[in-house]
Amino acid sequence: MSRKNTHIVIMAGGIGSRLWPLSTPEQPKQFIDLLGLGKSLLRLTVERFLPLAPIENFWVVTGERYAKFVAAHLPELPIEHILLEPEARNTAPCIAYACRKIALRYPEANIVVTPSDAIVTKKELFVEVISKALKETEHSSSIVTVGITPTRPETGYGYIHASSNEREKVIPVSEFREKPDIWTAKKYVADGSFFWNAGIFVWNVSTIISELTTYAPKVMEVMDKIAPSFYTLGEREALQKYFPTCEKISIDYAVMEKSQNIKTIAAELGWSDLGGWSSVREHMAQDADGNAVVGDGVRLFGCTGCVVHVPSGKKTVLSDLHDAIVCESPSGGLLFCPLIDEQNIKTYSQS
């Protein structure tokens, strides 16, 4: 595996509405120190991949209004590697844009595509897994997905059905499965050959260009219109003109469910997409009563199982709360609700 030919594409355009009021369309979760570690999720994502590629081989695709956040959180990233979508069109156009642009200057590129808003606790194993995937794709037409060994019957994730239950080896994929109901999820976990789909993809640039051309020709037709402007002053204008005409489609539907070249490498990586306050709490430091707190002014009395996230210096006193979410955003949004109701937060925030 060649480090100089490895490129990391980070998708950073989501709005994380299930983590309101901290995550908002104005400043979504990937740009926030969600876990109280002093670093944003975007920053943590970059650091996770730095053992695999130099920073000049990193690319971040995001919305135009988030350019300032990317530049602030990643000041060492080349400014021309911040790719700005004028409008969100789902992951297939996002990936097509980045990979088509990389192909123009780096035709030998071996690429990892990753979300910006997940957490991985087993960092060394993660690097080993991605390295194996990159070795597989460097000189082949394989597309390798990263599968996560399920730790519970989860209905919020899609699943990868592998040809066997082997871990930490590249093996063929039988099929992708959509988010299941709880009974189906239990069957998947018991089977042992079903893995959570982490949304991390590895391929060489010629492979993905070929697969997109075959299975998502309308998307690539739009990219062909934009491509002559790549690396020129006219790129933004071309993007604004043509990118919004792309079909809204995920890479799963556009390519992954149709391609004959899909493989996976699965492992228990301590991965979470931090899609709700319960998963955030699981990955934060907790006190003896199971409370997870961000905010140096927080004082708890008789509280258990709570997640509390308030601005630094904000004096906050909570008494006799159990399994609750208390969050105040720097912009003034305030949420107080039982953890059991977290699936309703997106609806609450829009009412």
Q: Are residues 208 and 158 in the same domain?
A: yes
End-of-domain residue from the set 226, 255, 272:
272
Those residues with Cβ within 8 angstroms of residue 50's Cβ, 6 or more apart along the chain or in another chain = none
pLDDT at position 46, please?
Answer: 98
How far, in Å, CA of 282 to CA of 291, rounded? 10
Q: Establish if 110 belongs to a structural domain.
A: yes
End-of-domain residue from the set 272, 302, 320:
272
Q: Are residues 185 and 256 in the same domain?
A: yes
Q: Are residues 65 and 163 in the same domain?
A: yes
Q: Are residues 310 and 182 in the same domain?
A: no
Domain enclosing residue 135, as ranges: 6-272
State the DSSP string of 75-135. Answer: TTS-GGGEEEESS---HHHHHHHHHHHHHHH-TT-EEEEEESS-EES-HHHHHHHHHHHHH
- 282-291: list long-range contacts, CB under 8 Å, 24+ apart: 283/35, 283/119, 283/121, 284/35, 284/36, 285/36
End-of-domain residue from the set 248, 272, 296:
272
Provide the β-strand partners of residue 204: 110
Q: Are residues 235 and 282 in the same domain?
A: no
Q: Establish if 120 belongs to a structural domain.
A: yes
How far, in Å, CA of 78 to CA of 56, rounded? 6
- For residue 73, the domain's CATH number is 3.90.550.10
pLDDT at position 349, please?
Answer: 84
Q: Cis peptide before 107, with omega less than 30 degrees from 0? A: no
Q: Are residues 180 and 162 in the same domain?
A: yes
Q: Which residue has the tokens 């390798």?
A: 144
Q: Are residues 196 and 332 in the same domain?
A: no
Q: Are residues 130 and 213 in the same domain?
A: yes
Q: Establish if 1 belongs to a structural domain.
A: no
pLDDT at position 1, please?
Answer: 60
Q: Are residues 252 and 122 in the same domain?
A: yes
Question: In the chain, how many domains are there?
Answer: 2
Q: Are residues 180 and 254 in the same domain?
A: yes
Q: Establish if 293 belongs to a structural domain.
A: yes
pTM strictly above 0.75: yes
Q: Please list the pLDDT of the chain residue by residue as tens digits (351 residues).
A: 678 999 999 999 988 888 999 999 999 999 999 999 999 999 999 999 999 999 999 999 999 999 999 999 999 999 999 999 999 999 999 999 999 999 999 999 999 999 999 999 999 999 999 999 999 999 999 999 999 999 899 888 889 999 999 999 999 999 988 889 999 999 999 999 999 999 999 999 999 999 999 999 999 999 999 999 999 999 999 999 999 999 999 999 999 989 999 999 999 999 998 989 999 999 999 999 999 999 999 999 999 999 999 999 899 999 999 999 999 998 889 999 999 999 899 888 887
Q: Are residues 50 and 156 in the same domain?
A: yes
Q: Are residues 38 and 170 in the same domain?
A: yes
How far, in Å, CA of 143 to CA of 207, rounded? 8
The candidate with the shortest Cα–Cα distance to 199, out of 120, 136, 141, is 120
